[in-house]
Structure 1
Amino acid sequence: MSATYQVTDGVAVISLANPPVNGLGQGTRAGIVDGLAQANADAAVKAVVIIGSGKVFCGGADIKEFGSPKAFAAPDLHVTIAAVEQSAKPVVAAIHGVAMGGGLELALGCHYRVVAKGTQIALPEVNIGIVPGAGGTQRLPRVLGVETALQMITTGASVPADKLAAAPGQKLFNQLVDGDLLPAAIAFAQSVADARPLPSVRDLSVAAPADADAFAKARAELAKTRKNLEAPQRCVDCVEAATKLDLDAGIAYERDVFAKLVTSDQARALRHAFFGERAASKIPDVPDTTPLRDVKSVAVIGAGTMGGGITMCFLNAGIPVKLLEMKQEAIDRGVGVIRKNYEAQVAKGKLSQDKYEQRMALLTTTLSYEDIAQADMVIEAVFEDMDVKAQVFTQLDAVMKPGAILASNTSTLDVDKIAEVTKRPGDVIGLHFFSPANVMRLLEVVRSKHTAKDVMATVMAVAKKIKKVAVVSGVCDGFIGNRMFEQYVRQGFFLVEEGATVQQVDKAAEAFGWAMGPFRVGDLAGNDIGFAIRKRRKVEQPDVIYSPVGDAICELGRFGQKVGKGWYDYEVGKREPVPSAEVQACIDKVRADKGVTPRAISDDEIVQRLVLAMVNEGAKILEEGIASKASDIDMVYLTGYGFPVYRGGPMLYADMLGLPKVVELMKGFAANPNGDPAFWTPAPLLAQLASQGKGFTG
């Protein structure tokens, strides 16, 4: 059992003991039920305390049991909470660290709750596509009121216990403890040992919200802020039910909603994202015990948009940064942008003035490579050109101290070749930050064939410290993200050449759930970037076929928002895309020159071609070992490219569509006379898995 039992001064103490977060696995639940039975049978025991061992009370369900029969094995969480609630002797929850999900639901079943200052409280189930399943939506409104409970349940956000304890009229906490929790909890349990009748959350009523339209307003707001997600809406339904039903009927309603959601595609996708993000940090041949190098200071080369954003990532984490540029004007400009970004956060109340000053105090600048020689890690963020990168790394090799990690913020270039210009290739790694680097969560960690294992382990630990989702990629053109995204964009070009409009393609992609369609992304990032890559492709890979529409647009100087015109027109000072007659005329000319008669294309075909083009390339990436697992590919797209989280990423989406169906659709696209039949040949891994009835994500 994952719970211990002992008696101290007439109080039975049941300690949850299932590290790291005392998850409510089957053994833990059984330990609670058995402990309560033992306490109630012992005349010497007057009260019971349930506490978490280690640093937390309880983080909720045991993720090791997700998807297995153990998750619902007897006693389930409902039975466990009922045993607590029905105890003849008072049960006190002693809460510290975190009380989340089922952990909070367990505490709500106790007769009393004492909480340590600084504890975080949450019902985060909505973030994995479900509603709380053990009475949380019914009990929390009874102790905090509908408004506060609704906010917590629909967002899944954690709230400091101190804030909740100070709320007028709250009935969640009986005592806020500043000091050693267990002695305080035992003392409290002794003080209520003779109290009868025992208080129960089930006896509390739920007042309707003061605003009669509160639930309708909540649904409307969530439709905007959590677009296309079902679980937040169902959370509102459950909380509203709490205002109309008694506790048992409300719990029955909640269980019915939970049962429907837990098997849904959205819940599957969100669970995949939850586990995939944690699995991304695991590198098959780099053990968790690999020694780490110290990274107490960082140097960044280049004070432009990327360099400034990368610098902020480390300043935010309390790591000193020395910023190197070749000219003082460039340093002044870069530091000015960093200040402006922080000042905007201060103005919005997102950053205190003290923290702003602390972060800026960690930043120093220099014009000399010698001044960065003692940094533990250096990251270059210079122009994306192999010759320029080689020059930088030659200089770094000459000046950096032994053991320093040398990182390149490259988005496409060969990290093996970059490493080979140095005499220490094992210290070299690619760190592909995404713009704006201080905002985007994704960090592609590009592993050269030379990169040492301790460098890999260290970089993954540093990524966690700067709050990035680090995904390991092997070396190839474009790595995981850009290599696949290029196929997505290629299909966008073919689709408009064949008859779709730019607006239709973007709207179809956005209706599917992408944050932006491919043409709007091109205008935002700069169409000249793809233009340069295609020029390089014509030399290096002349067999790769592109529709000429992309080049034709760029030859008109339509590079995107930065010049006021791209696939769309843009008014000065505005980002709203306006359909362009010049672009349509350009597309019409390409069609005429190629003898293409435009045809009607459905939104379904648009979405399938955009996404499945990426899926097929993803299969090749897995075959080649560029990514070690399909979930890594999905994490790249969920955290860096705006793929809809409720679809789980391109590889899981293909699995949910069914790989035999994917192959069938690809055969249909290959038969398109204006397409690229060779491209739509299923990758061997895709064909193999489809024939075996398997999926990428297992």
Structure 2
Amino acid sequence: MTASTASPASPASPVVSRTLHGNVLVVGIDHPPVNALSVDVRRGLVEAIEAAQADPAVTAVLIVGAGRNFIAGADIREFGKPPLAPLLPTVCNRIEACPKLVVAAIHGAALGGGLEIALAAHYRLAVRGAKLGLPEVQLGLLPGAGGTQRTPRLIGAAAALDLMLSGRHARAEEALQLGLIDRLGATDDVLGEGLAYVRELLAAHAAVRPTRAASALSDAGVDAMRAAVEAARKETATRARGLFSPMKIIDAVEAAFTLPFDEGLALERRLFVECLESPQRAGLVHAFFAEREVAKAPETKAATPRAVATIGVVGGGTMGAGIAVAVLDAGLPVTMIERDDEALARGRAHVERVYDGLVAKGRIKTDAKAAALARFTGSTSYEALAQADLVIEAVFEDMAVKKAVFSELDRVCKRGAVLATNTSYLDIDEIAGATSRPADVIGLHFFSPANIMKLLEIVVPARVSADVVATAFELARQLRKVPVRAGACDGFIGNRLLAVYRTAADYLMEDGASPYQIDRAMREFGYPMGPYQVVDLAGGDIGWAARKRRAPTRDPRMRYVEIADRLCERGWFGQKTGRGFYRYEPGARTGAPDLEVEAIVEAERLRVGISARSFTDDEIVRRLMCAIINEAANVVREGIALRPLDVDITLIYGYGFPRYRGGPMKYADMLGLPTVLAELERLSQEDAFFWRPSPLIVKLVERGADFSSLNGTAS
């Protein structure tokens, strides 16, 4: 701090300090951990501006943040509570209206309301490493303190819409190029750089410059603005189908060039309140909190992770290669094991193909590809894993094959190495039994493509040690995955719920709904794909193998629909064979309805004596959601999932559940658990075994509680 001439100003808020540096009042925000815009911060900022205006010794104001950030956004501790004055729009307008020069000096994060504060200042400086963004769309909101009006006036409608609709963060260098900031600091001394910039502006007699008067919109022209808005509407209608706030953001930005500034602010505020009151906002806020809570497993608090510097991957197929890429992207070396040289060459080719695709799309440079591949080695001998700290098995989903692999790993791996299986369904305790060290064996269930999909189910078998679980969570952090702790059972959390979802869909199909109507209804609900599109994408043979494996232990009370088996018996496994529930033209990833499939469905109905009946799309959604919610309650009741929020994150990140609905458990709470229970009781009159209400739902309804009461969070 350049404090040689600094002196404390008049008393300030506990989280907003005021220090006079010559004729510059430095307003410092110190509200750990991220300088969020709490009511005390908002009040302190207004008081600081008023103090500067009233003090003849002050010529200019510099707003800076303490710690690692400028202002990272709203205070999440105030979410869901009645708003307290001053509201953020009032603060921003007060800053902009100050007759003395106001400069924002940005380091770290200036996000959401934090960036809106900076936009209200007359000039903006950022140091390298700063990131600026308006990510409110991710919470079902829009910038509500002038962001939709000031941003396009500074950088134009197209660039403003890109920032707001994507929710992405712009680095300081890009922000300068866009015109979001006026100066890029030469050093990382944000206070020193800020003071130097203010003094330079004062020496040049720079005018107070309200952002509302910025000219990017007028410079670009109305036609260009209108074209940008219409292009955004068209793209958003497809990309953000079903979402509420993106179209409201576009409406607000349009107002920036069709309405006077103050009328645009008023419209922005009305649209903000509409978003605030939307159920989507509640779902997205819940998902925001839940994503942060899932990493807090008991073992992460009780144990220290083991050191992991080298990783082995057994299996070079699509999943093994994807896992290898995820590890390489984290900067760790990978040794891949395959059964022979030919298979190993295919595995390496799978890895190279991923990087070639990234290079072709311009996402990485060729030298980044070369650096990643330099960390990749392969072998046909398990001895190559002798010094690996962690090994991930990703071979065929067969218990005998996996036990053979783990027997070899037990033989060659050093003591203390973590041995992980990527199994989707199988009993990890049985797999661990193939070793002399079951305490070192854990499940790491990746989702395909493993280098892209963010979910990682960390499956905790009975005998695993706490530090191995902690190691798995630390690895997930390094791989930038969203980890969810799951207990060991058939299918864990996600695939167990997927199986029930599919079963309920099969009942609907056999009872009269077509697979194509079911898929359409679930897409309209918000899933990117319907259940039968997913079957075709994954490969019908995978589910067929699982059904045959479970057949000997299937409860005789369980109704079993054989339609999918009839397709598999014909070799119709989905996209990879050109036929499944849909028919695929060569090279096509989108299928067309198949009359032969509908004939097979009808023949199966006749065989089992079912007369087809019609279902509305709403009935389809209601049944499938009740099936998922009911089984999810059993998963929580049995301790397979720690909390309802763990189920929500699993379904959102691994299975395409619409994020804006918050996950199945949050969705159930928004419907009302008494409503869900009543529907389950009605359906149980058709099939008492499948639709038996979970005892957990019954218990919560009796207590007048819901799933959120089991999360231990405010969401």
TM-score normalised by L of structure 2 = 0.93
Deviation at 1:547, TM superposition (A): 1.5
Segment of structure 1 superposing worse, 31-40 or 530-539: 31-40
- Using the TM superposition, give the Cα deviation of residue 369 of structure 1 relative to its aligned residue in structure 2, in angstroms: 1.6
Q: Counterpart amino acid of 2:42? A: R
The one-letter code matched in structure 2 to 1:445 is I
Aligned to 1:696: 707
Which residue of structure 2 lines up, in the alignment, with residue 365 of structure 1?
A: 378
- Give the 3-state SS of the residue equivalent to 1:382 in structure 2: coil
Give 1:527 shift. 1.4
- For 1:347, which of 336, 357, 360 is the aligned residue? 360
User: Residue 634 in 1 paired to residue 648 in 2?
Assistant: yes
Residue equivalent to 2:274: 260
Change (3 A) 1:291 1:6: farther
| 2:501 maps to amino acid | Y
Per-residue CA deviations over 1:84-143 (Å, capped at 9, x if unaligned) read: 223343221101122110000001111221111332211110111111111100111111
What letter matches 1:175 in structure 2? R
| Contact 1:322 1:365 (C-alpha < 8 Å) held by counterparts | yes
**Shift of the alpha carbon at 1:165?**
1.4
3-state DSSP of counterpart to 1:93:
strand
**More deviation, 317-326/446-455:** 446-455
Superposed CA offset, 1:588-607 (max 9, x none): 22212221111112211111
CA distance in 1, matches of 2:576, 2:164: 41
More displaced, 497-506 or 299-308?
497-506
Residue deviations 1:334-367 (CA, integer Å, cap 9, x gap):
1112112211211121111111111111101112
Work out the CA distance in 1 between the residues paired with 2:154 and 2:588: 47
Instruction: Give the distance between the partners of 1:535 and 1:368, measured in 2 at CA.
Output: 33
Write the distance in 1 (CA, Å) between the matches of 2:494 and 2:62: 50
Deviations 1:598-640 (A, max 9, x none): 1112211111111211110000001011111111111111111
The CA distance in 1 between the partners of 2:411 and 2:426, in whole Å, is: 22
* Deviation, structure 1 residue 41: 4.6
Deviations 1:444-488 (A, max 9, x none): 110122222222222212212212111110111100000011011
Q: Is the 8 A contact 1:413 1:478 kept in 2?
A: yes
Tell me whether 1:60 sits opposite 2:80 in the alignment: no
C-alpha contact (below 8 Å) 1:89/1:193 kept by paired residues: no
> SS of 1:56's equivalent?
coil
The CA deviation string for residues 258-305 of structure 1, in whole angstroms up to 9 with x for no partner, is 111112111111111111111111114532x74222212111111111
d(CA) in 2 for partners of 1:85 and 1:501?
Answer: 59
Q: Which amino acid aligns with 1:192?
A: L
Q: Is the 8 A contact 1:15 1:53 kept in 2?
A: yes
CA distance in 2, matches of 1:306, 1:215: 41
2:200 aligns with: 191
What is the SS of the residue equivalent to 2:461?
A: coil
Among 564, 570, 578, the residue aligned to 1:550? 564
User: In 2 relative to 1, CA 607–399 (structure 1 residues): closer, same or farther, beyond 3 Å?
Assistant: same
Q: 1:173 aligns with which of 162, 177, 181?
A: 181
Give 1:394's aligned amino acid: S
Deviation at 1:404? 1.6
Among 626, 645, 652, the alignment partner of 1:612 is: 626
Counting only pairs closer than 5 Å after superposition, residues 76-225 of structure 1 correspond to structure 2 as 76-167=87-178, 170=179, 172-179=180-187, 180-193=189-202, 195=205, 197-205=207-215, 206-207=217-218, 208-211=221-224, 212-225=226-239
Residues 188-227 of structure 1: per-residue CA shift (max 9 Å, x gap)? 2223347475221123354244434432222111101111
Deviates more, 1:355-364 or 1:78-87: 78-87
Residues 342 and 285 (structure 1 numbering): CA distance in 2 closer, same or farther, change over 3 Å? closer
Question: Tell me, what secondary structure is at the counterpart of 1:55?
Answer: coil
Equivalent residue number for residue 8 of structure 2: none
**What amino acid sits opposite 1:587 in the alignment?**
V
State the distance in 1 between where 2:166 and 2:18 align.
Answer: 35
Q: How does 1:237-252 map to 2 (within 5 A)?
A: 237-252=251-266
| Aligned partner of 2:444 among 412, 431, 434 | 431
* Aligned partners of 2:157 and 2:228 also within 8 Å: no
* Offset at residue 429 of structure 1 (A): 1.0
- Indicate whether 1:278 and 2:300 are aligned: no
SS across alignment from 1:149: helix
- Does the Cα contact within 8 Å between 1:146 and 1:209 map onto a contact in 2? no
Find the partner of 2:695 among 680, 684, 687: 684
**Sequence identity percentage:** 44
SS in 1 for 2:242: coil
Q: Tell me: CA distance 1:209–1:398, structure 2 relative to 1, closer, same or farther (3 Å).
A: farther
* Residue aligning to 1:578: 592
Aligned residues: 689
Opposite residue 331 of structure 1, the aligned amino acid is: L
RMSD: 1.9
Rounded Cα–Cα distance in structure 1 between residues aligned with 2:562 and 2:384: 48
Query: How far apart are 1:573 and its partner, in Å?
Result: 2.4
Tell me the distance in 2 between the aligned counterparts of 1:612 and 1:123. Answer: 36
After superposing the two structures, state which structure 1 stretch, 495-504 or 12-21, moved more: 12-21
Quick one: distance in 2 between partners of 1:66 and 1:404? 43
TM-score by length of 1: 0.95
SS of match in other structure, 1:94: strand
CA contact (8 A) 1:155 1:232 kept: no
Of 510, 528, 535, 1:497 maps to 510
> What is the letter of the counterpart of residue 442 of structure 2?
I
Which residue of 538, 541, 560 corresponds with 1:525?
538
Letter in 2 for 1:327: D
Q: Match of 2:668, as an amino acid?
A: A
Distance 1:550 1:364, change over 3 A: same
Residue 316 of structure 2 contacts residue 350 of structure 2 at CA under 8 Å; is this kept in 1? Answer: no
CA-to-aligned-CA distance 1:539-572 (integer Å, 9 cap, x gap): 1233333222222332233222222222222233
Contact 1:295 / 1:376 at 8 angstroms: preserved in 2?
yes
CA contact (8 A) 1:301 1:325 kept: yes
Equivalents in 1 of 2:650, 2:364: separation in Å? 28
CA distance in 2, matches of 1:292, 1:382: 26
Indicate yes or no: 2:542 matched with 1:534: no
Contact 2:92 2:146 (8 Å CA) reproduced: no
Of 538, 561, 574, the residue aligned with 2:575 is 561
- Provide the secondary structure at the position in 2 that maps to 1:697: helix
**Aligned partner (choices 380, 403, 406) of residue 416 of structure 2:** 403
Question: Deviating runs (4+, > 6 A) in structure 1?
Answer: none
Q: Does 1:412 align with 2:422?
A: no
CA drift at 1:42: 4.4
Q: Which moved more, 1:44-53 or 1:621-630?
A: 44-53
Counterpart of 1:314 in structure 2 is 327
Distance 1:160 1:491 in 2: 47
Unmatched 5+ stretches in structure 2: 1-13, 710-715
Q: Retained in 1: the 8 A contact 2:97–2:210?
A: no
Q: Secondary structure at the match of 1:192?
A: helix
Picking from 383, 388, 391, the partner of 1:378 is 391
Greater mean deviation of Cα atoms: 472-481 or 155-164? 155-164
Mapped contact 2:157–2:229 kept (Cα < 8 A): no
2:104 partner SS: strand
Contact 2:299 2:470 in 1 (8 A): no
Equivalent residues of 1:147, 1:209 under 8 A apart:
no
**What amino acid is the match of 1:301?**
V
Residue-by-residue CA offset, 1:213-262 (whole Å, 9 max, x unaligned): 43222211110111111211100100111112222221111111111111
SS of the residue 2:442 aligns to = strand
User: Kindly tell me: are residues 418 and 190 of structure 1, through their superposed partners in 2, closer, same or farther at Cα, counting changes over 3 Å?
Assistant: same
CA contact (8 A) 1:660 1:691 kept: no
